[in-house]
Amino acid sequence: MTRCIWALVFLLITGTASSQVLNTPAQRNTIDYSQPQRYRIGEIKVSGANFLDPNALISVTGLKVGDEITVPGEDISRAIQKLWDQGILGDVEVFVTKIEGNQIFLDFNLKERPRLSRFTFSGINKTQQDALRDKINLIRGKVVTDAVLSSTRNIVRNYYLDKGFLNVKTNIAQKPDSVLPNSVVLNIHVDKGEKVKIGEVVFEGNEAFPDKKLRRQLKKTKQKRFYNPFTASKYKRADYEEDKQKLLDFYNSEGYRDAIIVSDSVYKISEDRLGVRIKVDEGNRYYYRNITWNGNYLYDDAYLTRVLGIEKGDVYNKQELDKRLTYNPTGIDVSGLYQNDGYLFQSIDPVEVKVEGDSIDLEMRVYEGPQATINKINITGNTKTSDHVIMREIRTLPGQKYSRDDLIRTRNELAALGYFDPENIGLNPIPNQADGTVDINYSVVERPNDQISLSGGWGGPIGAVGTVGLTLNNFSTRKLFNLSEWRPLPSGDGQRLSLNVQANGKYYQSYSLSFTEPWLGGRRANALTVSLFKTVRREPGSEIDRRLNVDGGAISLGRRLRWPDDFFHMSHSLSYNRYTLRNYTLFGFGDFNNGTSNSLSFNNTIGRTSIDNPTFPRRGSQITLSLNLTPPYSLFTEKRNNYEFVEFNKWMFDASYFVNLAGDLVLNARAHFGFLGKYSPETSLGPFERFVMGGSGLGGGNFFVGTEYIGLRGYEDESVINNDEEMLKTAGGIAFNKYVFEARQLISPNPAATIYALAFMEAGNNFGSYDRYNPFKVYRSVGVGARIFMAAFGLLGFDYGWGLDDIPGVQNQKRGQFHFMIGQQLR
């Protein structure tokens, strides 16, 4: 019996469209189909249902014993339709088992749809099968309906359409399972066909711009060309629709505000190529003429026009106009002018008051409104970090006037902490215009920031060096004695505890421990850092005990400044290093191989940081100037060059600037300088605190505390120096300069593994004397690389650099160098 059996039976007998029931043989002459009668249901039975609950099925029909129904009539039709709507039945028949007086006895004879036993794939490889299994919602025991089969076909088809297989065909075959009754095995056969690429993208009607320029506006709809093998060139309808809007946005940005797409088509070129044709009507190009202001009282027309930055005769650009009115990430905008002074409720409505020829007159209708006062601050999402750690970074406090700059600055400060995903810091002002207040909701997403490092490397003559490190970036000493806060260690107060051990057996061991309290006293951002370290190095292969011990510690205090602006910071540190030599040779420094050197130095650093994201900055800058001084012993003592007391003055300057070129493409320009000086011309600079350049900049075989390792990709580690004298090569330089241009493209913003690719050009040099110093004499290199930031390990870097110049005195130089680095380095 088919689904419409009742309609067919009734049409054959009566010619009308009402439903009927079937008589059993004993009742065949009881029901007169031409004379509908009223009956009371005496019994309802369900037959043929082996796996479904009969009572539940009767409930679905909406009929029950005692109900009055008309036979033939609509009551039975509605009951059948309700059963069909469940999608679990393959056939429904209704029999009248008997009639007693006005009572009718019904039997719903059902045929259940089969259930899924399992499913298999054919025609595709295992990798694709596994991918589809995760997408297809087929569960054992599920009823196999037409909707299930259709949904499965669509999922498979869409999966391959996204991969460019536009001719994919899917066939699903059902085979009864020999083990499970009323169950089937589905075989999903996939014929991918040839992968289809976009062979050509052509335009019609364009006169202002050539096809080549218009194709560049289509970001995901690209034509396949042999000289660009990395272009995907897949056709996806959703991406194509987005690209058409991007095309119109481009026309609008160039003044063609009336541009439209008249028609577009996708056509077949061959079995593996299709073409895209887009016909445009560009319309006229428009220009700004007169811009007037209405409703502004706080600022005059001339000032607002200067802030807007649009002059008469400029090309009409609605997107740029909106950006300069509402939010300009690279500069001031008119709304920001008002909102930074508390006028949160202001609005500016640009109205085209006149369009004449190719010129447009605008009237800026301004509503300034009252100033808004901050009412409440709410923080959500911080499951680990304490509220007070976040609150001390917030610059929008209750009772203050609202300021958009303060809101954005708060976001940058929270991102700089490193405790939260910088891409998911939410800022949500909730204005209440009735009382002139605003509530601000900050939302954060915690990310792991403690780091464990297990690594190995090559330490020059001493051989392999292993490193074990633990850094707790959000530690809490306040919770140390509260065992319930150990999860697994006390955390959440923003303190930093770091322990690091390096060793390769008896030839080299290094230990360091440091602790930082970023808000000493809890009222201001005064960062106190205390560190201790010890290094022991022995010369390998010597029967005599030749060793160098370095012991020391440092204490520093850093604070934020309010002048010249509050992006500045300053730190002061006092450090002591004790170098103990026992039969240890420092090449180039005569018989200084036994004894003790003491280095007491004071470091002062001033800097300015305004980057928007510590992991992947898109805009802002970092500038640092530091001066490291020891007491000038040579000026008030007669001791000369015995290195008992190390003396020097070291000057370092680093500058880094970020500019967002487009989307997630960022240009980073850097410059670095370093100079090591002495107080008296009668003394010589010792072997400590030197500059070593080349390679990844991670340090190699010297391991002197205070030595500055500067990377120069494309060259071997520690190989760059502007002198071929062996002693200067070994000790290091006393002046260096380095310049870098780096283009960065964000690939994955995922906080668990932030990834970006880069291409670089850099140049630098290291000098052993000031007589040879020349900031324009540099060794150049180019290359590509990638950075991966993982919370548990920090920043991992991979670079391949190509040195463009020969270094004097370095034999067998390799042009191509692969570099691996761990940790964020400015130089």
Give the E-state strand segments of 331-450 in sequence order. Answer: 347-356, 359-367, 373-380, 426-432, 437-443
Q: Where are the alpha helices (DSSP H) in 689-823?
A: 726-731
H or E element at residue 1: none
Q: If we measure between CA atoms, which residue out of 592, 569, 574 comes closest to residue 641?
A: 592
Question: Which residues, given as ranges, of the chain have pLDDT below 50?
Answer: 1-20, 25-29, 700-703, 724, 726-729, 824-826
Q: Sign (positive/negative) of CA torsion 66, 69, 75, 79?
A: positive
Instruction: Give the separation between CA 148 and CA 350, rounded to whole angstroms.
Output: 52
358, 286 in Cβ contact below 8 A?
A: yes
CA distance 656 to 330: 17
CA neighbours closer than 13 Å in the CB half-sphere of residue 378: 12
CB-count burial class (<10 Å; 0-12, 13-18, 19+) for 324: buried
Query: Which has the closest alpha carbon to 795: 742, 741, 746, 756?
Result: 756
Maximum distance among all Cα pairs of the chain, rounded to whole angstroms: 136
Q: Are strands 37-47 and 103-112 parallel, antiparallel or unpaired?
A: parallel
In angstroms, the Cα distances linking 224 to 168, 230, 235, 277, 453 are 20, 9, 11, 15, 44
Contact 256, 328 (CB under 8 A): no
Q: Cβ(535)–Cβ(703) under 8 Å?
A: yes
> With contact defined as beta carbons under 8 Å apart, do 21 and 12 qualify?
no
Residues with Cβ < 8 Å from 50, sequence gap 6 or more? Answer: 112, 181, 182
Q: Which amino acid is at 760?
A: F
Amino acid at 551: D
Scanning the structure block, which residue is given the tokens 């995760």? 134
pTM for the full predicted model: 0.69
Q: Taking the CB of residue 89, how many other CB atoms lie within 10 A of it?
A: 22
Q: Is 111 helix (H, G, I), strand (E, B) or coil?
A: strand
CA 357: distance to chain centroid?
A: 46
Give pLDDT, residue 25. 47
Going from the C-alpha of 191 to that of each of 185, 512, 753, the distances in angstroms are 19, 62, 36
Angstrom distance (rounded) from CA 819 to CA 810: 19
Torsion of Cα atoms, 334 then 340 then 342 then 346, to 10°: 20
Q: What is the pLDDT of residue 459?
A: 54
Nearest-CA neighbor of 384 among 296, 485, 454?
485
Q: How many CA atoms lie within 13 A of 595 on its CB side?
A: 13
Residue 159 sits at φ, ψ, to 5 deg, of -60, -45
pLDDT for 16 equals 31
pLDDT at 597: 87
Inter-residue contact 780 to 792 (CB < 8 Å): no
The pLDDT assigned to 791 comes to 66
Checking DSSP bridges between strand 183-191 and strand 115-122, what pairing results, if any? Answer: parallel
Q: What is the pLDDT of residues 354-377, one digit of tens each?
A: 999 999 999 999 999 999 999 999
Q: Which long-range contacts (CB under 8 A, 24 or more apart) does 80-88 make?
A: 80/6, 80/19, 83/57, 83/108, 83/110, 84/3, 86/60, 87/113, 87/143, 87/145, 87/146, 87/147, 88/52, 88/112, 88/113, 88/143, 88/145
CATH 3.10.20.310 domain position(s) in the chain = 5-112, 115-191, 197-281, 287-367, 374-443
Residue 567: alpha-carbon gap to chain centroid: 25
Give pLDDT, residue 827.
54
Handedness of CA 228, 230, 234, 240 (dihedral sign): negative
Distance CA 60, CA 58 (A): 5
**Three-class SS of residue 163?**
coil
- Write the DSSP symbol of residue 372: P
Name the architecture of domain 287-367: Roll (3.10)
Measured at the CA of 119, the angle between CA 115 and CA 125, to 5 degrees, comes to 170
Gap between the Cα atoms of 17 and 1, Å rounded: 17
CATH topology of domain 557-570+602-822: Porin (2.40.160)
N-term to C-term CA, the chain = 82
CATH 2.40.160.50 positions along the chain are 557-570+602-822
Answer whether 823's CB lies under 8 Å from 796's CB.
Answer: no
Q: What is the pLDDT of residues 312-327, one digit of tens each?
A: 999 999 989 999 999 8
pLDDT of 265 reads 92
Tens digits of residue pLDDT in 730-776: 568 899 999 999 999 999 888 778 899 999 999 999 998 888 899 99
CATH for 115-191, options being 3.10.20.310, 3.40.50.2000, 3.40.50.2030, 3.20.20.140: 3.10.20.310
User: Tokens standing for 527?
Assistant: 């960062």
* Domain 5-112, CATH class in plain words: alpha beta
Architecture of domain 197-281: Roll (3.10)
Omega cis (within 30) before 564: yes
CATH H-level superfamily of 374-443: membrane protein fhac (3.10.20.310)
**What is the SS3 assignment for 14-51?**
CCCCCECCEECHHHCCCCCCCCCEEEEEEEEEEECCCC
- Residue 59: its H or E element: helix 54-61
